């Protein structure tokens, strides 16, 4: 990992997308487990 990746404008968008997708996936899994 190089430090210039942090200053990449797309890096922040990628991280935000991963966090959003992770939260959505976790919510879906928890809802599925809770429905059982």
Q: What is the pLDDT of residue 16?
A: 93
pLDDT band at 5 (very low <50, low <70, confident <90, very high): low
Q: What is the pLDDT of residue 8?
A: 74
Q: What is the pLDDT of residue 3?
A: 60
Place of tokens 């935000």: 16
Where along the chain do its domains lie? 3-35
Query: pTM, whole model, 2 decimals?
Result: 0.55
Residues 6-35 pLDDT 10s: 667 788 888 999 999 999 999 999 999 999
Please indicate whether residue 15 or residue 1 has the higher confidence score (pLDDT).
Answer: 15
**What is the spatial distance between Cα 26 and Cα 29, in angstroms, rounded to a whole number?**
5
**What is the spatial distance between Cα 19 and Cα 8, in angstroms, rounded to a whole number?**
17
């Amino acid at each position: 990992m190089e430090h210039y990746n942090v200053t990449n404008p797309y890096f922040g968008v990628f991280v935000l997308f991963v966090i959003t997708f992770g939260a959505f996936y976790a919510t879906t899994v928890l809802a599925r487990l809770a429905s059982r």
